[in-house]
């Protein structure tokens, strides 16, 4: 594959461009993570920082579980309660 083939469009060229873009993002992210990690290891308050990070992560996990795992109330039960609260349920056949 020549250099022009990668830019030529088509499915093969698009796949190569996509793979190259993903590789560039991965290398950039990895480089940033390594430099951030070396800076983190030099901190004196590393223990406190880790404890705060753990608390924040647990709080995010609880919020996520509450959002997606919580059982929603039954639709028909909500409808029945609203009908009873509004008084729309008549007692006789002539209502």
- C-beta of residue 7 within 8 angstroms of C-beta of residue 13: yes
Q: Which helix (H) or strand (E) holds 66?
A: helix 46-68
pLDDT per residue over 13-70, tens digit each?
Answer: 888 888 898 999 998 899 888 888 888 778 788 888 889 989 999 989 888 877 777 6
Residue 13 CB partners (closer than 8 Å, separation 6+)? 5, 6, 7
Q: Are 72 and 78 in contact (CB under 8 A)?
A: no
Q: Report the residue count for the chain.
A: 95
Can you give the pTM of this predicted structure?
0.36
């Amino acid at each position: 594959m020549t250099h022009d083939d990668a830019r030529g469009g088509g499915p093969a060229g698009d796949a190569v461009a996509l793979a190259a873009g993903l590789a560039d993002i991965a290398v950039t992210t990895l480089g940033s993570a390594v430099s951030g990690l070396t800076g983190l290891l030099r901190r004196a308050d590393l223990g406190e920082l880790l404890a705060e990070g753990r608390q924040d992560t647990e709080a995010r996990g609880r919020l996520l579980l509450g959002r997606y795992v919580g059982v929603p109330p039954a639709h028909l039960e909500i409808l029945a309660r609203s009908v009873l609260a509004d008084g729309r349920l008549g007692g006789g056949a002539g209502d």
